[in-house]
Every structure is written in structure tokens, then in C-alpha cells.
Amino acid sequence: MSEPTMPARDEEAEASARAEAARRGRALYEAKLKALLEPELNNRFVAIHPDSGGYAVADSTGNAMRAIRKSRPQGRLYLTKIGPEPEYGLTARILMADMMAAAWQRMLRGKPFRSRGPGRLW
């Protein structure tokens, strides 16, 4: 018995919604929050709720997410490191999660996993 899968249209809509939330969250950070948070809170993390404009600052992404979820339990979040230097580890974790989700969806659709060498998922 196979697990239900998400149709391709739904996957595209989900990817589009994620991209739109990221665009709106980044725009909020640049337009309103950057001036409020930098440089005093550099190297901390901010979780932004793009739908409401609410945000929370913490020492880690997990703590920032938990803090904003107390007041905004629903909706997408945008997470970023405060300050001029990007958080490469966060970017890598997000990309890996997206890659693993895509691989899982391939498996659920019955398409075999093919490795293209060390460190490459497809």
C-alpha cells in the first residue's frame, strides 16, 4: 500500500508560497527591521511573520521561531541572521531539507533514488 502523494501542481504552489513568504519577509527586514536591529543585535537571529509583520529575536533560529509562534501560531516564517554576514549554516540546512523533501516525494511516487556520486543527491 502506498502513501498518498502531493500532485505536481500542489508541489509547485507550495514552492511558490515559500518563495513569496521569503520575499516578503526579506522586504520587511530590509524596510523596517534592519534599522531597528542592526548593529546592536548583530549575530543574533530574527524570525519574521510576513503576514502580520510580527517578529522575534533570539540567540538561535529555534528560539526565535518558538518565540514568534507564541504570538503567531499560524503562517509561514522568514528567518535570518541579524547583521551584514549571512548565516551559511542556516542556508545549508534549509537547502538540505528541501532536497530531502524532494527525494522523499520521488520515492513516494515510485521513482528510484539515483546517486550521481559522493555528496550528490540527484
- Comparing C-alpha atoms, which of 4, 102, 28, 95 is closest to residue 47? 28
Question: What residue ranges do the domains of the chain occupy?
Answer: 8-86
d(CA 71, CA 92): 28
Return per-residue pLDDT of the chain as tens, 122 residues. Answer: 455 555 567 778 888 888 898 899 999 999 999 999 999 999 999 999 999 999 999 999 999 999 999 999 998 999 999 998 766 777 777 778 777 887 777 777 776 555 555 555 44
d(CA 47, CA 56): 5
d(CA 91, CA 38): 20
Per-residue pLDDT of 93-122, as tens digits, reads 777 877 788 777 777 777 655 555 555 544
Query: What was the pLDDT predicted at 91?
Result: 72
**pTM of the prediction?**
0.64
CB 48 within 8 Å of CB 29: yes
Phi/psi region, residue 83 (left: phi>0; alpha: psi -120 to 50; beta: rest), is left
